[in-house]
Structure 1
């Protein structure tokens, strides 16, 4: 190991600083946030390096290259010394008691296949006798941008940090680099309400890198009364690396799995788990995390007929979940039922998702389920997935981020129909990729509610370039004026000329069977039965006629206050245009094991097993659903008759799960044939719930239903958490001044973007 230690005085390397500034050449320094402030050569750090920084460990740079370690005393002088050492080919670790950066030449990082968190492109230092610190900061930043060869409009975020000491400056700069590496945008705490997300994914324009401009400023008054000010300006851009995933399971989000072939085996497993928990010193994090990791590893090799998932927020709560499950298991087994707790523990004695059952169905919701701040936490747990999606297309447009993450929560619900459709497909696409690529889950069936059919084809590897539909959806008359906006399709169907008044359109959810509504429709020719969904229906059309129809039925309707003529007779005017819109090139290799069920032909699934998938078949199925009454009840019954049993909703919120549960309950109460079909729903997201907790509950249900899946994301996260606990004694001190991150502020690891 090659190592040197260096302490730098403020003036020790001023000449090097002058050379850097006067050269005008961009810096090319790779920055990596370290998981600990300890010396990288310390034995305990070296032992955990393979899990926490695999790229650095595999490169063997720490064994072949001199490492200079610097404790922050004077930030300006430290950085000047760092630049000199890097130019000499050395590695530099610069640290405070709580934060640490590893710095090296960008070429050295590239040669060793290390993906840096960020790149330092410029550093400018300026001091003047002035009281106008703002003007000084602007001038220094302008020089830094010139050095970095960047225009001011390329800066994604400017941060000014005034009147801090060197330690505070360094700690906050490290926090900002973490923001770049985790692609996290933090909101101003003063601008958000307690119900709003404090942060969300840092979206950028397509193919535009995140660039941060940082000003560190200080001012003082000399003993002679003169005002002086100095400024250090940096230009830092995102690197190709990103902060590795936070662990889905940790000491505050516990999960255990007990699997066996019989009731006796399950109860024995629960007893053993209780004994293991009781024997574990749970006051320490590491033994608890290790117990959960080992439990998951054992589950990966087990193949029991039944599985119980136990979830809780603490060891004490987990023991209570265990007691409740022990009491519940005999009754659940005898009744072939299911049992769940509010904490997320779940057990079913009738697994519906095993390879023997082949009953797993992905269900895609329609327009209008997206909501403000949805998925605001997911990127921290699945950074590689977001990175992949960002490479594939315009992620900002795909989520309609300007509206969904607007500080005004009223903006998202008021989005135009086309924007709602884009965000809906985007949310379904993200959650599908999460289950399919991260957890290796593949459905046997797929179906969609209304425009959820488009989400289905976009999300499951059928369309070659689903991103191409984003701009079309925003601008095509089909969405902007035909079945929304001015409603040109409705005006044509109603034979209205251009001088006729605007149509006042609305839709209403009413608790009623379809037959009474259909009987009255001839009296109200401009009102339509749009959707049939269990014990409720949706009527749409001329608002006056809809209200009159409801009054005649003596029913109250809940107004949607959204203008869309989908699923009404006037939409048939656009049938050919819908086909043309959705005629998209298909992937060369199409999924063969998934049966796609369209509401237009719910008794017959479309599959590529016999090569029956083509672009016209897909487009026509969407158009037929789009332009006719949607009978969601029949769609679910058709899916059940073909073998679908376990319905997993892939999209924002859980509206489809609620509808399917009501349909199943209605079937059982009326003794219909459909009531004999087994049926269970699993939401992957829920408005108002914690993103990760809801996801973990969904995974728990899928595990108990014996759906084949990979637990690798859970195990990998726990392995990193365990490694981090071994570095905690020194890293668990007081956080940096102004730090926004408490639980995860020191829990950073490095992974690269492919």
Structure 2
């Protein structure tokens, strides 16, 4: 990678060169490759060789900063810094310093604690106390004008929160300046008032949606008058949800290790070559020119066509997202589940397998996921008696599988699929939204009969269909691995809609059955909810699962209200002491910075009463004292 310090420091003669050297040292120590601000493409007249020679070389210009993963051979990383002296160039070659024990080599940086974005917490037992504290907070703002003052205020509020964390309600405010915090407080004062009015209406027996007892702003400030988390000492009623493979995108997780350096060693130890497992070169394209929007979109589409690659990347990033919560925020799940191939991610991320890294080689060499259910789709061709791809005829070049998302119920789809042998409902996402897959022309015929719109997902893999059952035994062999000691999290599978025993064969058969059978996600959500899950955190890219959880539970609430009204029963609050409120929380959003997304997620979780360790948001620095350095050397 070739970067340029002056894209950050500007032209400042010797001062810029010193800053450039410091930037190189920090990047090497913090394990990231610095990007070049506003880079587009090199000018042809400035290149010593023709541009095609550059494209064919191993050199590239990073347009965004990205994580530098360990070398597969275990060697140390080096960085060369070049600067212009009075009449020549000076070159410095630096090598990283690493501790003997990699597990102790945690290179904290205080990134979140030094962020311009701040989390300001306010808690209280009732509306009156909350409003009083908001007024007190607002009264302090005119005195404090700088960023350091805002940081100090956020820290003071956090200290108060720690000493009064048992209070019933918490407001989480997000702001980057005093002016912005003033605006958020003003919005909170009115928003909290409205929320408690709606809560009073609900307590009087007047139906109200769960969103009317929540308040949020575009910035991400949040308050809920009905916290979803339980007050039990060792439980938050939290469920980790692992999305399927289709959510992976170019640029996924680019900043996560810089935001959360605590997890670097743990993730690196998951595989011999973690960069390869996380598909670094696929998700972070190497190029001498900035990749344009059209090219990025095509790369995203190409990712979906390689089931083995995105399956491996999905598993790897599931481990990353999970480690952030379990190691940094000290939050463990009471429940967990996976959507489609997300079930594989669940077992790997929660430490069920002793050596999840073994899956890399297995997936790379798997005929099932490289050519039978993906790629050439040999299993389908055999099942449907189609020419094999190697025959290279017009029939073999035409697509034989496509997946469409449509608005319809399972009953509606089954009614029009009578007699269709090459069309399958592979996944039910919500009560009125499903995935239809199979031979493209046959699928389009069914869609036309239904009279609905359809969107092709460009995913040519035939899992969750009857033909996939031919690969069942191979899947069992692929996912049979030695397991660790039993964990406390209850692992729910769409193979049986029950917790899966944490035994090697049970897990392998559960995954194989899940990938062969249709996924009924609403049934999975309702099962988890009925067994106590209330806080659903999506451990992966996007917020599709969160959206489907919300729609499924909203549909259930409407069904329940309809039954009560039909039976002439009064709609009242539940009196058995159980909490019926639920919340879904995404932790990654394409096009939104990871930093902002996590602050928003934390704001939501805190207001819903989830117990988290938030120290990394308030304390930390890249500067280490001599005492700390000496201790690390020992």
| TM-score, with structure 2 as normaliser | 0.80
Structure 1 residues 429, 543: closer, same or farther in 2, change over 3 A? same
What do residues 263-297 of structure 1 show as CA deviations (whole Å, max 9, x unaligned)? Answer: 2222222222223334xx42233332222112112
State whether structure 2 residue 277 is matched by structure 1 residue 398: yes
Q: How does 1:139-538 map to 2 (within 5 A)?
A: 167-189=15-37, 191-192=39-40, 198-206=64-72, 207-216=74-83, 218=85, 220=87, 231-240=90-99, 244-250=108-114, 252-278=116-142, 281-302=143-164, 303-336=166-199, 337-356=213-232, 358-393=236-271, 394-406=273-285, 408=291, 409=296, 410-415=298-303, 416-496=306-386, 498=388, 501-502=395-396, 504-534=400-430, 535-538=432-435
Provide the secondary structure at the position in 2 that maps to 1:368.
Answer: helix
1:618 corresponding residue in structure 2: 507
Asked if the contact 1:682/1:701 (under 8 Å) is kept, the reply is yes
1:597 corresponding residue in structure 2: 492
1:560 corresponding residue in structure 2: 457
What do residues 703-735 of structure 1 show as CA deviations (whole Å, max 9, x unaligned)? Answer: 111111112212323xx49x99xxxxxxxxxxx
The Cα of 1:477 is off from its aligned counterpart by 0.8
* Greater Cα offset, 244-253 or 266-275: 244-253
Structure 1 residues 275, 515: closer, same or farther in 2, change over 3 A? same
Asked if the contact 1:654/1:685 (under 8 Å) is kept, the reply is yes
The Cα of 1:464 is off from its aligned counterpart by 1.1
Provide the secondary structure at the position in 2 that maps to 1:180.
Answer: helix
Partner Cα distance (2:337, 2:280) in 1: 26
The Cα of 1:232 is off from its aligned counterpart by 4.4
The Cα of 1:190 is off from its aligned counterpart by 5.6
Q: 1:654 aligns with which of 539, 543, 552?
A: 543
Asked if the contact 2:535/2:584 (under 8 Å) is kept, the reply is yes
Structure 1 residues 370, 232: closer, same or farther in 2, change over 3 A? closer
Asked if the contact 1:667/1:674 (under 8 Å) is kept, the reply is no
Between Structure 1 and Structure 2, how many residues are aligned?
A: 553
What do residues 383-433 of structure 1 show as CA deviations (whole Å, max 9, x unaligned)? Answer: 231233224432212321101011542324312111111112222211110
Asked if the contact 1:505/1:543 (under 8 Å) is kept, the reply is yes
Structure 1 residues 751, 636: closer, same or farther in 2, change over 3 A? farther
Q: How does 1:53-92 map to 2 (within 5 A)?
A: none
Structure 1 residues 566, 456: closer, same or farther in 2, change over 3 A? same
Asked if the contact 1:364/1:456 (under 8 Å) is kept, the reply is yes
State whether structure 2 residue 477 is matched by structure 1 residue 580: yes
Partner Cα distance (2:442, 2:370) in 1: 24
Structure 1 residues 701, 475: closer, same or farther in 2, change over 3 A? same
State whether structure 2 residue 420 is matched by structure 1 residue 545: no
Structure 1 residues 750, 184: closer, same or farther in 2, change over 3 A? farther
- Please say which structure displays the higher CA radius of gyration: 1
The Cα of 1:458 is off from its aligned counterpart by 0.7
| TM-score, with structure 1 as normaliser | 0.68
Structure 1 residues 330, 674: closer, same or farther in 2, change over 3 A? farther
The Cα of 1:191 is off from its aligned counterpart by 4.5
Structure 1 residues 315, 164: closer, same or farther in 2, change over 3 A? closer
Partner Cα distance (1:704, 1:165) in 2: 50
Structure 1, unmatched stretches of 5+, are: 1-155, 221-228, 607-611, 725-748
* Greater Cα offset, 201-210 or 420-429: 201-210
Partner Cα distance (2:82, 2:367) in 1: 47
Structure 1 residues 235, 680: closer, same or farther in 2, change over 3 A? closer
What do residues 457-490 of structure 1 show as CA deviations (whole Å, max 9, x unaligned)? Answer: 1111211111211222222111101210111222
Q: 1:716 aligns with which of 611, 615, 619?
A: 619
Provide the secondary structure at the position in 2 that maps to 1:522.
Answer: coil
Asked if the contact 2:429/2:521 (under 8 Å) is kept, the reply is yes
Q: CA RMSD in A?
A: 3.1
Partner Cα distance (1:464, 1:674) in 2: 48
Partner Cα distance (1:465, 1:204) in 2: 18
Partner Cα distance (1:753, 1:590) in 2: 35
Asked if the contact 2:3/2:35 (under 8 Å) is kept, the reply is no
What do residues 574-597 of structure 1 show as CA deviations (whole Å, max 9, x unaligned)? Answer: 11111111111111x3312x1111
The Cα of 1:251 is off from its aligned counterpart by 6.6
Asked if the contact 2:3/2:34 (under 8 Å) is kept, the reply is no
Partner Cα distance (2:363, 2:283) in 1: 17
The Cα of 1:331 is off from its aligned counterpart by 3.2
The Cα of 1:171 is off from its aligned counterpart by 2.9
The Cα of 1:455 is off from its aligned counterpart by 0.9
Partner Cα distance (1:655, 1:568) in 2: 22
Structure 1 residues 177, 547: closer, same or farther in 2, change over 3 A? same
Structure 1 residues 385, 454: closer, same or farther in 2, change over 3 A? same
Structure 2, unmatched stretches of 5+, are: 42-61, 100-104, 200-212, 565-573, 575-579
Partner Cα distance (1:379, 1:387) in 2: 10
